[in-house]
Structure 1
Amino acid sequence: MTLTQWLLFILILQVVHFLGTWKLYVKAGRKAWEAIIPVYNAIVLMQIINRPKWWVILLFIPIINLLMFPIVWVETIRSFGKNTTKDSFLVVLSLGFYIFYVNYMEDVAYIKDRSLKPRTATGEWVSSIAFAVIAATLVHTYFMQPYTIPTSSLEKSLLIGDFLFVSKFHYGARVPMTTVAAPMVHDTLPIVKTKSYLKFPQLPYMRLPALQKIKQNDIVVFSWPVDTVEQFFKKTNRKIRKPIDKKSNYVKRCVGIPGDSLEIRDGYVYINGKKNVLPDRARLQFFYETDTDGKALSVKSLKSRYHVREGGRLQDGNYILNLADEDAQLISKNPTVKSLTKRLSPKGEAEDVFPNVSSLDWNRDNFGPVYIPEEGKTVALNIASLPFYKQIIVEYEKNTLRVENGQIYLNGSAEPVDTYTFKQNYYWMMGDNRHNSEDSRYWGYVPYDHVVGKPVFIWFSWNSDGQGLDKVRWERLFTTVGGSGKAISFFFPFVGLMLVLYGFNWFRKRKKAA
């Protein structure tokens, strides 16, 4: 929805609110006109239902307001003596329109000093659960979101089975664009496996102020720009268009920032002509082919020692292994391994990679150079450069485009254009697992409005290949994602601190009772 459409929608809501409540405002000793003034009417309503004025803020926070509206509806009718369970169900199930019936058809009296304490244990339980959900949703949406690593694209830095906390505020929390959605779930409702949101109405893209910019080699969670899958990891021929904030979440390393010129040579990234230097915790992985002279190689032991994930088995007992260069050197010393060869796509051998122009002869290991678009910067636009920027122009920045007789026309203009100025920043995201990562090499740039947040903390890690207690990667619990040197687990110090606090509280209560 455009800004004008939203203003019109808000105006309609104010009229609906006025028509449904003005008599109740009068019965509460207020003026009828106070029910129609935006924001002010909400402040007055909080006074009528004897609730704090800061609740008004919650009514204007996307997603949170969906949880607050039913609470305010119930509180409104209870302020006029409609306290039964039946009344509460009616006002919620009617989406608040039961208030119209109370306003016009019921002779109710305003209860100025009504008790705010729930009358039953069930009511108290429901009230506690409701505000716990609101608090959790607020944190999940605007501050910190739990996230699970589902693939091996950042293997070594992040492992399959890592459970992360992703900070929303480092890069600026993105205000949800999808205004009607289930809280604390993404695009699919659990158990029933149906869509968790409505596409309409949609808010314009907005973002809270950021604490920092995305830097070279930051690990970033983002909405997968080209996502059209109905459900992630579920094979289906049905493709759908999703709102930005309901696209599947990916986690990759940002190797190219706005303004960079990026090139890949034999699997290694070069930025502005210089080889990209990764943090010391990151290790690139590639497919290596082994020659074992037909002898068996214990892939199981390699997996446990080096986190090797088997890429496949060839004839004569040979294997394709997914290895970091350092581990490849160690494995090459294994007496059963005759040779170990990195399987790189040679320069000039074309593969199906961005921007899908076969004449470029680019592949996953030898690619580019490409320019990473920067907000406000202008590039030449012609038939040769169009494949690089067409998706940006049409999909991400919402222009109409047509090509006639080798000329490019934008937004219905009668005059052709030969330049384009970008409206936002773009990033190049890649996995450290170079041969097992679906990343920008295959679908291009990541717009800034698709950025979700920054992984900061691993609170749990589960190894599906382990046995018993070894399924838990204890050394990864309560470790930071960033930083240099070997990651240090703060799990046992945390447990110790919790035990000390528990003991102190127990001792204090016992002493007080004595």
Structure 2
Amino acid sequence: MNFALILFVLVILTGIAWVADKLVFQPQRRRAADAAVAEFDRQQQRVGERFADENAPQTRARIRDDKLRQPWWLEYTASFFPVILVVFLVRSFVVEPFKIPSGSMVPTLLVGDFILVNKFDYGLRLPITNTKVTQGRPLERGDVVVFRYPKDESVDYIKRVIGLPGDVVAYQGKKLTINGKPVPETSLPDYFDEERIGYAKQFEEDLGDRKNAILNNPAVPPFVVGADDYPFRDNCQYNSEGVICKVPPGNYFMMGDNRDNSADSRYWGFVPDNNIVGRAFFIWMNFSSLKRIGSFH
């Protein structure tokens, strides 16, 4: 279900109700309130001071309030329009929350992490169509990015940018090389993977301006099994040691930090620029561990 589309429809429906209320129904209620108060005042004059309502100001205010009150169908449409509009604009152009559903980005992101995604860093995009309207900065190697899964754009994926347009990315023998230059790795203490209930080799990978942790499981062979057919597949060569790909223009090569437990560009291909949703940058909640809250690399 496309939540952005649902929000957009709600904005339209509640917006129509809000405008109709401001231009049509609210003036009608005001006229009815003025008429009801005027009729009350005439009744007070007819009965005289002796029988007049001792609480006339309060009664007059209650009559006006009753006539000005929105009917239930406007209360549940027009009244919610400002809130829904703000949520829609913030979610579309500022930040959007996501929940990590799988362990493909362990150890950087864990299952159950609630993250925030920057929606303007790479340029503002129109909701629903994802059409870019401002340029923004280009993606960089090492960015953690949310994007629409190329094989089913109703599904959002999160991976790390490894290859930029024109890059030659080689993942051979579980070693990453970009444009013929090996990506430096530094050994870290073994990581206990709770999802697989076992230890994995952990390394710090240096993609230039930033460093991040990755996992490798020595028991898993390096070759790719079950790669799909995808656009520009001819740009990739598969062998017993892994895969070598040249990233086509306007596309990116993505990989998960949990290298042996990640369905990524090695399996289903490149991510077009039009599929980019935004840059993940902050964990705002994990109910299993509040210590997870904060920024990440």
Q: By the TM > 0.5 criterion, same fold?
A: yes
Q: Is it true that 1:480 corresponds to 2:295 in the alignment?
A: yes
Question: Structure 1 residues 66, 120: CA separation in 2 closer, same or farther (over 3 Å shift)?
Answer: closer
User: Contact 1:164–1:458 (CA<8 Å) still a contact in 2?
Assistant: yes
Alignment partner of 2:225: what SS?
coil
Alignment partner of 1:222: what SS?
strand
Q: Which residue of 1 aligns with 2:195?
A: 309
Q: 1:373 aligns with which of 239, 248, 258?
A: 248
Q: Which residue of 2 aligns with 1:430?
A: 255
Q: 2:139 aligns with which of 196, 207, 214?
A: 214
Q: Which amino acid aligns with 1:173?
A: L
Q: Which residue of 2 aligns with 1:28?
A: none
- In the alignment, structure 2 segments of 5+ residues that lack a partner are 1-6, 32-63, 205-216
User: Contact 1:142–1:168 (CA<8 Å) still a contact in 2?
Assistant: yes
In structure 1, distance between residues paired with 2:272 and 2:189: 25
In structure 2, distance between residues paired with 1:350 and 1:460: 34
Q: Which of structures 1 and 2 has the larger relative contact order (alpha carbons within 8 angstroms, sep 6+)?
A: 2
Q: 2:239 aligns with which of 334, 338, 362?
A: 362
- In the alignment, structure 1 segments of 5+ residues that lack a partner are 1-60, 85-114, 178-202, 228-243, 286-304, 312-320, 328-340, 375-424, 464-472, 483-514
Q: 1:277: how far off?
A: 4.4
Q: Which residue of 1 aligns with 2:159?
A: 252
In structure 1, distance between residues paired with 2:178 and 2:237: 19
Q: Is it true that 1:449 corresponds to 2:274 in the alignment?
A: yes
Q: Which residue of 1 aligns with 2:17?
A: 70
Question: Structure 1 residues 277, 140: CA separation in 2 closer, same or farther (over 3 Å shift)?
Answer: farther
Deviations 1:43-74 (A, max 9, x none): xxxxxxxxxxxxxxxxxx96544542232233
Question: Structure 1 residues 276, 68: CA separation in 2 closer, same or farther (over 3 Å shift)?
Answer: farther
Q: Which amino acid aligns with 2:192?
A: Y
Q: Which residue of 1 aligns with 2:69?
A: 120
In structure 1, distance between residues paired with 2:14 and 2:199: 47
Alignment partner of 2:91: what SS?
helix
User: Contact 2:113–2:286 (CA<8 Å) still a contact in 1?
Assistant: yes
Q: Which residue of 2 aligns with 1:175?
A: 126
User: Contact 2:166–2:248 (CA<8 Å) still a contact in 1?
Assistant: yes
Q: Which residue of 2 aligns with 1:49?
A: none
Q: 1:226: how far off?
A: 0.3
In structure 1, distance between residues paired with 2:161 and 2:93: 22
User: Contact 1:351–1:361 (CA<8 Å) still a contact in 2?
Assistant: no
User: Contact 2:8–2:88 (CA<8 Å) still a contact in 1?
Assistant: no
Q: Which amino acid aligns with 2:227?
A: V
Structure number with higher strand proportion:
2
In structure 2, distance between residues paired with 1:209 and 1:354: 33
User: Contact 1:152–1:159 (CA<8 Å) still a contact in 2?
Assistant: yes
Q: 1:371: how far off?
A: 1.1
Alignment partner of 2:97: what SS?
strand
In structure 2, distance between residues paired with 1:454 and 1:146: 11
Q: Which residue of 1 aligns with 2:93?
A: 142
Correspondence list, 1:270-349, <5 A:
270-277=177-184, 306-310=192-196, 321=198, 323-325=200-202, 342-345=218-221
Q: Which amino acid aligns with 1:352?
A: G
Q: Which residue of 2 aligns with 1:131?
A: 82
For structure 1, which segment, 70-79 or 449-458, has the greater mean C-alpha deviation from structure 2 after superposition?
70-79
Q: 1:81: how far off?
A: 3.0
Alignment partner of 1:373: what SS?
coil
In structure 2, distance between residues paired with 1:474 and 1:462: 6
Q: Which residue of 1 aligns with 2:37?
A: none
Alignment partner of 1:367: what SS?
strand
Q: Which amino acid aligns with 1:73?
A: A
Relative to the length of structure 2, the TM-score reads: 0.68
Q: Which amino acid aligns with 1:476?
A: R
Deviations 1:56-103 (A, max 9, x none): xxxxx965445422322333332663789xxxxxxxxxxxxxxxxxxx
In structure 1, distance between residues paired with 2:188 and 2:116: 22
Of all paired residues, the percent bearing the same amino acid is 27
Question: Structure 1 residues 326, 444: CA separation in 2 closer, same or farther (over 3 Å shift)?
Answer: closer
User: Contact 1:263–1:367 (CA<8 Å) still a contact in 2?
Assistant: yes
Query: How many equivalent residue pairs?
Result: 239
Relative to the length of structure 1, the TM-score reads: 0.41
Alignment partner of 2:90: what SS?
helix
Deviations 1:178-236 (A, max 9, x none): xxxxxxxxxxxxxxxxxxxxxxxxx5x52132432110011000000102xxxxxxxxx
Question: Structure 1 residues 372, 322: CA separation in 2 closer, same or farther (over 3 Å shift)?
Answer: farther
Q: 2:225 aligns with which of 340, 351, 360?
A: 351
Q: 1:122: how far off?
A: 6.8
Q: Which residue of 2 aligns with 1:158?
A: 109
For structure 1, which segment, 438-447 or 136-145, has the greater mean C-alpha deviation from structure 2 after superposition?
136-145
Q: Which amino acid aligns with 1:175?
A: L
